[in-house]
Structure 1
């Protein structure tokens, strides 16, 4: 309850400047609940909380190799799950309705940048050395923090408080594995109030 109250108090200054607010669901990477508010006619702020998928097997293998539980530890495999993703981002919007000869509703193109924090639990199976058959396990939280750039389009229905969107972007880690880039994208819908 304290976290909800803190989130509400934190969002009050943003809501005070908002012209239009919306809440929706984004399906893709990461799958998220999204809250978006326009700060003026062309600039929006968006917050997302959701579930991010695991990185590639090679990614976690390299994390293990760079941070072994003991000097001679031999990697066997891993499993990853329980991921969470938090995003905060700002976007610039441009009306492109006329360019596509749309007669009903509004189509906005957007592009922006933001920050993303991802956490996922990884359980490693390993042996102390390659010749010792005993399998050991170690669980670690893999936390990634990075910059995100994205672009896409959002269609606003004329007589309904609903919009649909599609976007594509890149997230580059600046903590944990600096320089690692992850392709992300999604589609979704929002209810406007």
Structure 2
């Protein structure tokens, strides 16, 4: 009887570990960008990931940009379509990569305004890659990711790093 019960518990635990792929995950990212993160898993390979938060606070508030500077952090919305795979056939460690876009809103201080600013919105593409570790119960995961944002509008080919880490609760 104990063996049957133990086997059922093990099978149920394995099912819980796989259940994260067809569900949602919510969490928090710290880095570039920093903010709230939501991920929707579609199957064992694909997911859609959205982060809403701030941009420019970690890599640097003061940055040369066009004919002026950024001097603050701003609002950011980032979305990626992801592919994720187990690393070394482990259900606990996954690597992922993806492509998507990013919209940022920051104060731009052009040299021509001598201290004044304009609100600047930038649009562009971004790529990301990362590692995610699922705690043994499968509900909580921690991740570290990196990538780049390549602005298209208003300054084509302005490249900015995206580096962040965080935690997610898999629902």
Q: What is the TM-score with the length of structure 2 in the denominator?
A: 0.77
Which of residues 29, 40, 43 in structure 1 aligns to 2:43?
A: 40
| Match of residue 166 from structure 1 | 144
Distance in 2 between residues matched to 1:119 and 1:79, nearest whole Å: 11
Aligned residue for 1:150, secondary structure, equals: strand
Which of residues 105, 117, 120 in structure 1 aligns to 2:106?
A: 120
Instruction: Give the total of aligned pairs.
Output: 148
CA-atom RMSD, angstroms?
A: 2.2
Tell me the CA shift for residue 124 of structure 1: 5.1
| Match of residue 180 from structure 1 | 158
Tell me the CA shift for residue 116 of structure 1: 0.1
Structure 1 unpaired stretches of 5+? 1-17, 65-77, 128-135
Distance in 1 between residues matched to 2:73 and 2:168, nearest whole Å: 25
User: Residue by residue, what CA displacement relative to the aligned partner does 1:102-151 show, whole Å, maximum 9, x if unpaired?
Assistant: 6xx61111000010000111345767xxxxxxxx5422012111100110
Distance in 1 between residues matched to 2:120 and 2:61, nearest whole Å: 10
Quick check: which has more Rg, 1 or 2?
A: 1
| Match of residue 73 from structure 1 | none
Which of residues 19, 28, 46 in structure 1 aligns to 2:31?
A: 28
Structure 2 unpaired stretches of 5+? 1-20
| Match of residue 132 from structure 1 | none
| Match of residue 72 from structure 1 | none
Q: What is the TM-score with the length of structure 1 in the denominator?
A: 0.69
